[in-house]
């Protein structure tokens, strides 16, 4: 993946990770994705949350659609 920064967080005693992913677009813009993982206390596994948008070289912004997040989950 492209440029990615991560940080550890604590949410009501649950540990988690937030990743910020920035990918270049062929048009010269960027795709920005926020990926969050939150650990479960009572069962194995994690909860995943994703959000993101596109920013283009002309300064316009558009949202990512649901099916575009599959590559990040």
**How many CA within 13 A on the CB side of residue 46?**
12
Q: Please report whether residue 73 resides in a domain.
A: no
Number of domains into which the chain is organized: 1
Amino acid 61: pLDDT: 97
Residue 39 bridge partners (DSSP)? 46
Provide the residue range defining the domain that includes 27.
3-68
Handedness of CA 13, 50, 59, 23 (dihedral sign): positive
Residue labelled with tokens 């949350």: 49
Residue 40, Cβ neighbours under 10 Å: how many? Answer: 10
Choose among 63, 34, 66, 64: nearest CA to 50. 34
Q: Please report whether residue 36 resides in a domain.
A: yes
Q: Please report whether residue 30 resides in a domain.
A: yes
The pLDDT tens digits along the chain (73 residues) read: 456 688 998 888 888 899 999 999 999 999 999 999 988 777 777 788 999 999 999 999 999 999 999 988 7
């Amino acid at each position: 993946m492209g440029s990615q920064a991560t940080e550890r967080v604590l949410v009501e005693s649950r540990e988690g990770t937030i990743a910020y992913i920035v990918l270049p677009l062929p048009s010269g813009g960027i795709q920005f994705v926020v990926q969050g993982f939150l650990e479960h206390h009572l069962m194995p596994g994690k909860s995943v949350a994703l959000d993101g948008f596109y920013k283009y070289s002309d300064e316009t912004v558009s949202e990512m659609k649901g099916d575009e997040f599959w590559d990040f989950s």
